[in-house]
């Protein structure tokens, strides 16, 4: 960074900033090698989808008739612009890019800052989403007489996407960095993402009802109006829609109108860039963010509340009651944990959705379509709940882990307290869902899976207690968005174990009670189901005790190493 303060040519400063951005991007993988596995998974899962979207759009550009090629182009560019507009709100920190506010103390011109910001986005994940779609647009329109207009249009769209993201971050950065906004955003967007299935079903149902309500004459009129619809008349007023209108005008031979639309988009880009630079100057002079920028005076912390007596925790030993109470409070205060709890409750609705919809929208008809063997899936639901809620359990202490390890409590009691809380948090929704299944589906299997699933949940917590010591992953509780395990850190070994050893270990320890249940169902032996239920509870409780003991011994041996591993890298 010292080199930035020297009097060097502009090209050297831009190159230095670009190399700095590349080193920061490389650092996130070299210092937290667990992210390498996450990046591989992202590319394997989303790479084909992005490529398929690019290929599909290129085919549409080449084969669609009338106004639809440019309408498709405009829709894609505006959608990408909206994604970049919403990214700072949904996920304020998308990578370990250079904090531009820290560069303001160096004698760097605004032009160099803007150029370095534009070039530095080549290391951003959203750029990997855009580039294939830009290539598809070039394939669709670039090999025409409008070649220069297409190039300028793509560059303008790219500039708009980058600048709007930076502008939003600087304008409302104070709000985005507030803890209250972070908590609300994490919960809201996670629930919206979890509800995509229901949103899709509702959209399909609405479209079917719309077309069913149309008479033959109305259908023809609707088709004619749709054929003459001009989406670009609306999209052209967006910053990234105007360049697409310029491409359309150039293809039609109207070069003057194409230049006017390009100029319109360029003026908007210049205005937004100037506004962004002014807001950066405001930050540099201590004015803070435009919205929510001035910190509130710290309020006096209220005195710690005394533990109320006469609660259920009184049934536990004193040390265990204190630890369990602390775990219950911390689970509710961390928004990421609340998200996992809410998502776990929604899982059964996704599982039962196809059966409910098979009744043609009639709930009673859908419930009657649920087969008797559906109850066998409930133990899997229990394993999922307990795995999601209890995995990486030590990491959720955050910066308080060293303080927790300074307490005189036996280490295995720490894990036992966490296990009790996680079992309670997973057991409540499990009992509700399995109770509904038993009521509507009936049969002895639907009743026996209730205790069997609870016992298997105890066994799975035993596994996660041990693996939280062997394969820890640091979690940034101050993050402004939910982050996956790989994004949160961890070494390469931990990344591999998270997707292999841990789920396999949970499956292995859950096999004995699951096998007994399978045999009882196959031969229709209710008495064997009762035996499996009793065995599962005793087996799970024994494994939980043994797992907490083992995890406590491992923790006592690895405390310094574990604290060092849990420490997040310096930003």
Give pLDDT, residue 525.
92
Contact call for residues 532 and 517 (beta carbons, < 8 A): yes
Alpha helices in 252-317 (DSSP H): 255-284
Choose between 287 and 209: higher pLDDT: 209
SS3 per residue for 26-44? HHHHHCCCHHHHHHHHHHH
Instruction: Calculate mean pLDDT across residues 136-147.
Output: 84
Report the range of poorest mean pLDDT among 130-139, 196-205, 367-376. Answer: 196-205
pLDDT digits (tens, 9 = 90+) for 223-245: 566 556 678 888 889 988 899 89
SS3 content of the chain, % helix, strand, coil (to 5): 80, 0, 20
With cut-offs at 50, 70 and 90, classify the pLDDT of residue 302.
very low
What DSSP state is assigned to residue 409? Answer: S
Report the range of poorest mean pLDDT among 45-54, 179-188, 499-508, 525-534. Answer: 179-188
Give pLDDT, residue 516.
94
pLDDT digits (tens, 9 = 90+) for 496-528: 778 788 889 999 999 999 999 999 999 999 999
Choose between 21 and 365: higher pLDDT: 21
Instruction: Inform me whether the pLDDT recorded for 361 exceeds 60.
Output: no
d(CA 59, CA 55): 6
Three-state secondary-structure class, residue 507: helix
d(CA 157, CA 265): 9
Buried b (16+ CB within 10 A) or exposed e, 218-239: eeeeeeeeeeeeebbeebbebb
Give pLDDT, residue 83.
81
Across the chain, what does the average pLDDT equal?
Answer: 75
Buried b (16+ CB within 10 A) or exposed e, 157-182: bbbbbbbbbbbbbbbbbbbbbbeebb
Residue in the structure block whose two tokens are 């609405």: 206
Instruction: Calculate mean pLDDT across residues 453-479.
Output: 86
With cut-offs at 50, 70 and 90, classify the pLDDT of residue 330.
confident
d(CA 463, CA 451): 19
Instruction: Inform me whether the pLDDT recorded for 77 exceeds 50.
Output: yes
Instruction: Inform me whether the pLDDT recorded for 549 exceeds 80.
Output: yes
CA-nearest of 129, 104, 128 to 114 is: 104
Contact call for residues 421 and 331 (beta carbons, < 8 A): yes
**Six token digits for residue 443:** 């049969």
**How many CB atoms are closer than 10 A to CB 390?**
27
E strand intervals along 406-484: none
Q: What is the pTM of this model?
A: 0.55
**How many CB atoms are closer than 10 A to CB 416?**
25
Instruction: Inform me whether the pLDDT recorded for 533 exceeds 90.
Output: yes
Contact call for residues 156 and 243 (beta carbons, < 8 A): yes
Three-state secondary-structure class, residue 230: coil
Q: State how far the alpha carbon of 337 is from the alpha carbons of 240, 319, 402, in Å.
A: 38, 24, 21
247: left (phi over 0), alpha (psi -120 to 50) or beta: alpha
Percent above pLDDT 70 for the chain: 62
Q: State how far the alpha carbon of 334 is from the alpha carbons of 42, 127, 479, in Å.
A: 26, 31, 11
Contact call for residues 475 and 398 (beta carbons, < 8 A): yes
**Six token digits for residue 377:** 């899936």
What size, in residues, is the chain?
571
Choose between 64 and 93: higher pLDDT: 64
Q: Which residues contact 503 (CB under 8 A, 6 or more apart)?
A: 387
Percent above pLDDT 90 for the chain: 18
Q: How many CA atoms lie within 13 A of 120 on its CB side?
A: 28
Instruction: Inform me whether the pLDDT recorded for 93 exceeds 50.
Output: no
Q: Which residues contact 449 (CB under 8 A, 6 or more apart)?
A: 375, 376, 378, 379, 434, 517
With cut-offs at 50, 70 and 90, classify the pLDDT of residue 164.
confident
**Six token digits for residue 489:** 């850190």
Q: State how far the alpha carbon of 485 is from the alpha carbons of 59, 232, 502, in Å.
A: 37, 42, 13
What DSSP state is assigned to residue 124? Answer: S
Choose between 85 and 288: higher pLDDT: 85
**Six token digits for residue 21:** 């951005």
């Amino acid at each position: 960074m010292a080199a930035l303060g020297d009097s060097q040519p502009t090209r050297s400063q831009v190159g230095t900033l670009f190399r700095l951005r590349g080193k920061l991007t490389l650092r996130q993988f070299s210092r937290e090698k667990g992210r390498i596995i996450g990046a591989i998974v992202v590319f394997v899962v989303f790479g084909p989808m992005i490529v398929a979207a690019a290929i599909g759009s290129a085919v549409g550009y080449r084969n669609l008739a009338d106004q639809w090629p440019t309408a498709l182009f405009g829709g894609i560019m505006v959608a990408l612009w909206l994604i970049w507009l919403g990214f700072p709100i949904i996920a304020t920190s998308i990578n370990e890019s250079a904090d531009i506010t820290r560069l303001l103390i160096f004698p760097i011109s605004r032009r160099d800052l803007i150029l370095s910001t534009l070039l530095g986005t080549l290391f951003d994940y959203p750029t990997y989403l855009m580039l294939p779609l830009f290539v598809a647009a070039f394939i669709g329109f670039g090999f025409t007489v409008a070649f220069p207009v297409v190039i300028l249009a793509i560059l303008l769209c790219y500039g708009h996407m980058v600048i709007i993201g930076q502008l939003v971050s600087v304008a409302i950065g104070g709000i985005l960095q507030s803890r209250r906004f972070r908590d609300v955003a994490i919960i809201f967007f996670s629930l919206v993402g979890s509800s995509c299935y229901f949103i899709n079903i509702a959209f399909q149902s609405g479209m079917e009802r719309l077309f069913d309500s149309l008479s033959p004459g109305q259908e023809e009129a609707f088709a004619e109006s749709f054929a003459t619809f001009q989406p670009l008349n609306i999209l052209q007023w967006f910053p990234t829609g105007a360049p697409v209108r310029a491409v359309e005008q150039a293809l039609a031979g109207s070069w003057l109108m194409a230049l006017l639309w390009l100029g319109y988009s360029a003026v908007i880009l210049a205005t937004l860039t100037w506004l962004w630079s002014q807001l950066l100057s405001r930050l540099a002079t201590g004015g803070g963010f435009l919205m929510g920028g001035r910190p509130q005076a710290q309020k006096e912390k209220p005195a710690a509340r005394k533990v109320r007596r006469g609660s259920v925790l009184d049934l536990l030993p004193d040390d265990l009651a204190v630890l369990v109470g602390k775990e219950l409070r911390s689970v509710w205060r961390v928004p990421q944990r609340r998200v996992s709890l809410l998502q776990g409750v929604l899982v059964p609705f996704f599982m039962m959705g196809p059966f409910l919809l098979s009744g043609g929208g009639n709930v009673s008809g859908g419930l009657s379509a649920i087969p008797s063997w559906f109850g066998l899936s409930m133990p899997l639901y229990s394993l999922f709940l307990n795995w999601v809620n209890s995995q990486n359990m030590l990491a959720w202490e955050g910066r308080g882990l060293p303080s927790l390890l300074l307490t005189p409590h036996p280490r295995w009691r720490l894990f036992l307290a966490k296990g009790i809380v996680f079992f309670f948090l997973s057991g409540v929704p499990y009992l509700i869902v399995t109770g509904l299944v038993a009521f509507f589906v009936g049969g002895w299997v639907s009743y026996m899976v209730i205790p069997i699933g609870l016992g298997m949940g105890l066994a799975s917590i035993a596994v996660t207690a041990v693996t939280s010591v062997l394969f820890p992953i640091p979690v940034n509780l101050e993050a402004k968005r939910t982050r996956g395990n790989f994004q949160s850190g961890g070494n390469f070994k931990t990344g591999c174990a998270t997707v292999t050893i841990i789920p396999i270990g949970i499956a292995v320890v859950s096999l004995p009670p699951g096998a007994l249940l399978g045999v009882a169902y196959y031969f229709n032996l209710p008495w064997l189901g009762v035996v499996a239920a009793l065995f599962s509870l005793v087996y799970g409780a024994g494994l939980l005790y043994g797992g907490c003991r083992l995890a406590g011994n491992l923790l006592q041996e690895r405390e310094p190493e574990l604290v060092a591993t849990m420490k997040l890298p310096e930003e």
